Amino acid sequence: MVISELLNKGNDLLNRADIENHKNEVKLILCKLLDKDQSFIHSYPDYELDKEIESKFFDIINKRVKAYPLQYIFGELDFYNLKLKVSESVLIPRKETEILIEKIIDIAKEFEEPKILDMATGSGAIAITLAYNILNSKIKALDISEDALNIARINKENYKLNNLELFKSDLFENVNERFDIIVSNPPYIKTSDIKDLQREIQYEPKIALDGGTDGLKFYKIIISKAYKYLNSGGYLAFEIGSDQAKLIDSLLNDYGYTDIKVIKDYAGHDRIIIAKVSGGEI
Ligand code: GLN
């Protein structure tokens, strides 16, 4: 089969399965399999593909027809300035989370040797990116899932990050020190909303999505304890659901955090909230 025919067939199958953005996806899949960039497939529509590529292509298309995420199929994705490994054991890092990274990189400049804790690290997306981009930082990252930590460990190993320590912990369970910045993108979807989210999301670990009945379970726990683990003048930073800013703002207020700021994402939705702790001592 030649390139143009293969792309048409792939398009047709994904279109019938209601996969958004399928035109881009089929090209992406073929480029990845051929290890070429898009200019190659545009320049050589009549290039005859070998049988092995063809069969790999349709294996992938058949998974995408069932809305299985492309990032799990490839086992990696581009995130910030890195390539990260992912598997079904971890949430697929989202573009929006890069805004949180930018912000942390910025506030970390206030500290000589910033000590940062990433809670519910999953693939390690936040911790790995911070450890890679803030050279003088000391980062710790935790997750309750050993399977998730194993993926984070691969990512850490790939970038040889000596300033990052990964450990298993149910939130603050195994945390015994203070930090300058605590950051988290915890699970924040209401339990009852998960089933209505797009088909791709149903393949992601429920434990990484489910924020309890009101979606706020993890914010409540973290906010009520984080100040005991923050140095004076330290920061608490979260990614949040677009309808949660008000509630989380008032929770932060109740616990005495100050300088609360909400930052919007690329779509104009509230997505990040950052607050300062004044004292730090209990
Ligand atoms: N911290 C990881 C991320 O931002 C995982 C978050 C999660 O599993 N809720 O991608």
For the chain, percent of residues with pLDDT exceeding 90: 98
* Substitution site in 78, 98, 104, 126 for ligand 1 pocket (most atoms within 8 Å of beta carbon): 126
Grouping H, G, I as helix, E, B as strand and the rest as coil, residue 155 is helix
* CA-based radius of gyration for the chain: 21
The answer to whether residues 270 and 245 touch, using CB atoms and an 8 Å cutoff, is yes
What does the pLDDT look like over 204-260, one tens digit per residue? 999 999 999 999 999 999 999 999 999 999 999 999 999 999 999 999 999 999 999
Q: How confident is the model at residue 282 (pLDDT cuts 50, 70, 90)?
A: very low
Q: Which helix (H) or strand (E) holds 270?
A: strand 270-276
Q: What is the overall mean pLDDT for the chain? A: 96
Instruction: Say what the pLDDT of residue 278 is.
Output: 79
Centroid of ligand 1 to alpha carbon of 246 (angstroms) = 22
Q: How confident is the model at residue 270 (pLDDT cuts 50, 70, 90)?
A: very high
- Flag whether pLDDT at 280 surpasses 50: no
- Flag whether pLDDT at 99 surpasses 80: yes
Centroid of ligand 1 to alpha carbon of 90 (angstroms) = 7
Q: Which atom of ligand 1 is nearest to the CA of 209?
A: 9
Q: How confident is the model at residue 177 (pLDDT cuts 50, 70, 90)?
A: very high
Pairing status of strand 179-184 against strand 138-143: unpaired
Which DSSP letter does residue 189 get? B
Please work out whether the CB of residue 208 comes within 6 Å of at least one atom of ligand 1: yes
Please work out whether the CB of residue 91 comes within 6 Å of at least one atom of ligand 1: yes
Mean pLDDT of 73-82: 97
52's CB contacts (< 8 A; 6+ apart) are: none
The answer to whether residues 139 and 131 touch, using CB atoms and an 8 Å cutoff, is yes
CA atoms of 106 and 73, how far apart (whole Å): 34
Please work out whether the CB of residue 93 comes within 6 Å of at least one atom of ligand 1: yes
Q: Is the pTM of this model over 0.85?
A: yes
Instruction: Say what the pLDDT of residue 279 is.
Output: 59
Q: How many helices (H) and strands (E) does the chain have?
A: 11, 9
* Residue recorded with tokens 């000391």: 138
Mean pLDDT of 168-181: 98
Instruction: Say what the pLDDT of residue 81 is.
Output: 96
Q: What dihedral do alpha carbons 140, 141, 147, 150 form, nearest 10°?
A: -40
The answer to whether residues 86 and 92 touch, using CB atoms and an 8 Å cutoff, is yes
